[in-house]
Amino acid sequence: MMQKIANPHFAQTLIEAALAGGRAVMTVYASEFDVDWKSDETPVCAADRQAEDVIVAMLEQAFAGIPIIAEEACAAGCVPEFGETFFLVDPLDGTKEFVKRNGEFTVNIGLIEDGIPVAGVVLAPALKRIYVAADGRAWSGSVDADCSKVTDLTAMVVRKLHNAPVAVAQGEADFYPRLGPTMEWDTAAGDAVLRAAGGKVTTTDGTPLTYGKTQVAGMRDFENPFFYAVGDKSLLARMAANEAA
């Protein structure tokens, strides 16, 4: 699905916002920082808040009028009214890993249109990697140590599909079942990359994973059901056939 936003610099703007968030995250990462705990017992630190402030400010300036649903703002009860088009922002996905200082955390920005993630950026600043989806295409590339520029952007196409949607999109795995709690801002950007690379993300009953879910019985607003990230779409058909047998 192609995005509706007509902006020749759209992908570059998303990349720059993610890099700015990455710089904020890595500044805190290099310091001594305190960790607080939210009501859902997940950790939060200055990196989450500072990166979100930077990213949201840049998106608001570049895309005035498009609602931004950001994790920390939502945790504070600040949820904007939104319609068919909106951004989902997770300024620091993997705060537990950030606290452990193992480098396995990301900055995520996803664009949703009509319930579908059509563009996004996943930045792993400590690992110096970036993944981008826009205009129905996906790329991966390298990021310098200062999170100031991206190099070696190459097209991504799913071949064989390991342990996360981006790994699936890179062709490192065929199938990733997520049978645990996630929120939409956790998955939107990686989902966009996977879909743009030719993969698919579905709920366990085979329907496409959608975004903008609120007031669903038994679930928090913007919570995902369990899902499958699939590179080889024929796997879904084979799974359905096996269940029916």
Q: What is the DSSP string of 147-177?
A: S--EEEEEE--------SHHHHHTTS-SEEE
Confidence check: pLDDT of 118 > 70 = yes
Q: Which pLDDT does position 46 carry in this prediction?
A: 85
- Within 10 angstroms of residue 226's Cβ, the number of other Cβ atoms is 14
Q: Are 218 and 189 in contact (CB under 8 A)?
A: no
Distance separating alpha carbons of residues 4 and 243, to the nearest angstrom: 37
Half-sphere exposure of 125 (CA within 13 A, CB side): 33
* Domain contains 232: yes
10-14, 21-25, 176-180, 222-226: the lowest-pLDDT one: 176-180
Residue 152 lies in a domain: yes
Above 60 in pLDDT, residue 169? Answer: no
Token readout for 3 is 């995005």
- Structural domains of the chain, count: 1
Residues 32, 9: Cα–Cα separation, whole Å: 36
**Does residue 61 contact residue 44 with C-beta atoms inside 8 Å?**
no
The pTM of this model reads 0.87
- CA nearest neighbour of 48 among 74, 69, 21: 21
**What percent of the chain is modeled with pLDDT above 70?**
84
Q: Where residue 5 falls among pLDDT bands split at 50, 70, 90?
A: confident
Which residue from 111, 110, 133 is spatially nearest to 197, judged by alpha carbons?
133
Give the pLDDT of residue 168: 46
Residue pLDDT, tens place only, 203-218: 988 899 999 999 999 8
User: For residue 19, is it within any domain?
Assistant: yes
What confidence score (pLDDT) does residue 23 get? 98
Q: Which CATH number goes with the domain that contains 137?
A: 3.30.540.10
Q: Could you tell me if residue 4 is inside a domain?
A: no
User: Is residue 3 domain-resident?
Assistant: no
How far is the C-alpha of 128 from the C-alpha of 124, rounded, in Å?
A: 6
> Angle at the Cα of 108 (from 63 to 8), degrees rounded to 5?
35
Q: Kindly state whether residue 136 falls inside one of the protein's structural domains.
A: yes
98 and 92 Cβ atoms separated by less than 8 Å: yes
Write out the residue range of the structural domain in which residue 77 sits. 10-244
pLDDT digits (tens, 9 = 90+) for 6-27: 676 899 999 999 999 999 999 9
Is 2 part of a structural domain of the chain? no
Q: Which residue has the tokens 């989450």?
A: 48
Of residues 26 and 232, which shows the higher confidence score?
26
Q: What is the pLDDT of residue 237?
A: 55
Indicate whether 1 belongs to any domain.
Answer: no
Give the burial class of 41: count Cβ atoms within 10 A of its Cβ; 0-12 exposed, 13-18 middle, 19 or more buried. exposed
